[in-house]
Structure 1
């Protein structure tokens, strides 16, 4: 295997690593490109005291830490304030806010087992929670908990002591325990119940069947729509939002199934005045044993190509 091939086989994992650090798919891809540039330039000095994989992750972590010196943490609407219950208060796109972005599972470039293995650390709630950690503490958490590096190796990378790494890890764990959802909230329904729930959600969204949707959402369901800061919490308010925004009538929408952050997701296309279906949003679902507890609807059509999806959908 030549060097180019060896670099390429680690690309998916490196993009995921940088995404966990940065919370942005586009920033992560830029960071990996910079990682490869530095690796090509420095390969002659690589002394093989570690594997190529470890060496690349060291470079990528430093690239991310440098980027985080000049950027704000990525957020979702619920991190900015309380939910709304007034549809008249629905705000426009806040493009100046550094929003969290979804991660297409297909970018891992690996078999489904790898996606499942990375699932907990890639879930949107987890990545959003990690954004609250200081950059170096975030790096310690990811290197120790996700990549399972020894504390001594992390200390060497960050130019600190093993004791400092262990202390940082404990602080990171405590903060995540405070921020992330309870484990019970992540207990997804098993097949075939999950399949039935997703099929019903897709059909109900396409046909605007609010009665079916009412039965699918949990009582405390959340609906968030970055880059729109306004968000809604509670099944009744979510249904009122959908009632006001989903146009009635046949063939108004197409929902295409995909996956993001190890979670089920749908790409929504809206029929325009030209009778073509235009990319609208990527909706990432959080499922529990009680139903759909959250939908993060990323109103960013520019994300569609990263999911391998066209901007125009030709409905058959």
Structure 2
């Protein structure tokens, strides 16, 4: 069976389910796309919890709008269109998600959340999951695009849709889509200088030995309460931010370490650590657990996502995880 006939068969089956009003089979067919739709919403919104909500909203809208499916496109394409517009509607209502001016583009995004690798689509080839398009730096850069321009960029340069298909999904002209994409590419080059910008090309998915070694050493330094050992893992030009706190972004290792020490880390009461190696956004990460005096358990304190360059940590994004067992991590160890 050819790809074209397969798409036709899928559409025909879906139309039959729609006409029959078979809610159970409709849910079964649409559910197989949950992971890739959720990742799409995450790229649009940079927030894991919001992406989950918008994916569920996509399925609700799909059911209520099921009669609008005419078989002109594959069910998957139709669902992506609904998901994209659900995210655009969400962004239109949220004043706190307005892109910051370009001169402030180095500031952190308080609403940014990590994305658990276990929830990534299982077939990277089919789902366009290149590592570079999941890493935090990419997700942050995309947020500085106006919402509709952001949607055009993701549909065209990440998912690889042709201009006509993206235009149809967003109810724009092909000329408008082409213009929006050109502007988006300029912004992305400004936000990610020196990074690979061919998002649809082959990409590495697995962590390197360097990355695995550095995250283990990072955890080891915490568990030994070894501040000097931790400093040795950091590049001088480290970029560090702790979210969701605002105003924490620093761009040198010295500033980051000074902030940690002045905040009490590695001091009595904040010096008994345990850690778990994990991955988020296809990046090495450490789940850090802290035991405070009088508490018998080590409790989840923070998740640290690391970008490793030449064996050292170039970017460290911390996420406050106190009181919220994120990513199915155990709340205590």
Confirm or deny a common fold (TM above 0.5): yes
**1:256 is aligned to 2:276:** yes
* 1:109 CA displacement: 4.4
Query: 1:147–1:179: structure 2 CA closer, same or farther, 3 Å change rule?
Result: same
- Report the equivalent of 1:231: 249
| Counterpart residue number, 2:314 | 293
1:22 maps to: 45
Cα gap change, 1:250/1:223 in structure 2, threshold over 3 Å: closer, same or farther?
closer
Q: In the aligned structure 2, how far is the partner of 1:292 from the partner of 1:187?
A: 19
Deviation track 1:51-90 (CA, whole Å, cap 9, x = no partner) reads 11111100000101111111132789xx96989xxxxxxx
In the TM superposition, residue 251 of structure 1 has moved relative to its aligned partner by: 7.8
What RMSD over aligned residues (CA atoms) do the two structures have, in Å? 3.1
**Change in 2 beyond 3 A, CA 1:75/1:103:** farther
For 2:238 and 2:44, the matched residues in 1 are separated by 27
Tell me how far apart the structure 2 counterparts of residues 22 and 116 of structure 1 sit (CA, whole Å). Answer: 18
* SS in structure 1 at match of 2:93: coil
* Cα distance change on mapping 1:290 and 1:309 into 2, 3 Å: closer
Look at both structures and tell me which one has the larger radius of gyration over its CA atoms. 2
Change (3 A) 1:45 1:61: same
Q: Following TM superposition, by how much is the alpha carbon of 1:143 offset from its aligned partner in structure 2, in angstroms?
A: 0.3
Q: Which has the higher contact order (CA 8 A, sep 6+)?
A: 1
Which residue is 1:88 aligned to?
none
The whole-number CA distance in structure 1 between the counterparts of 2:158 and 2:304 is 26
Aligned with 2:114: secondary structure?
coil
Corresponding residue of 2:114 = 102
Q: In structure 1, what is the equivalent of residue 97 of structure 2?
A: 73
> Structure 2 stretches of 5 or more lacking a match?
1-12, 14-24, 197-202
Asked if residue 8 in structure 1 is aligned to residue 31 in structure 2, the reply is yes
**Contact kept in structure 2, 1:75 and 1:131, CA below 8 Å:** yes
Aligned to 1:259, what secondary structure does the other structure show? strand
Distance 2:291 2:188 in 1: 41
Q: 1:221 pairs with 210, 225, 238, which one?
A: 238
Q: 5+ residue gaps in structure 1?
A: 84-93
Range that drifts further, 152-161 or 232-241 = 232-241
Q: Deviations over 1:123-168 (max 9, x none)?
A: 1111111111110000000000111111001111222211111111
Match of residue 198, structure 1, among 194, 209, 215: 215
Does residue 210 of the first structure (1) align with residue 227 of the second (2)?
A: yes
Could you tell me which residue of structure 1 aligns to residue 288 of structure 2?
Answer: 268
Q: 1:154 & 1:145 partners in 2: Cα distance?
A: 11
**TM-score normalised by the chain length of structure 1:** 0.84
1:237: how far off? 2.4
Whether 1:162 and 2:180 are equivalent positions in the alignment is no
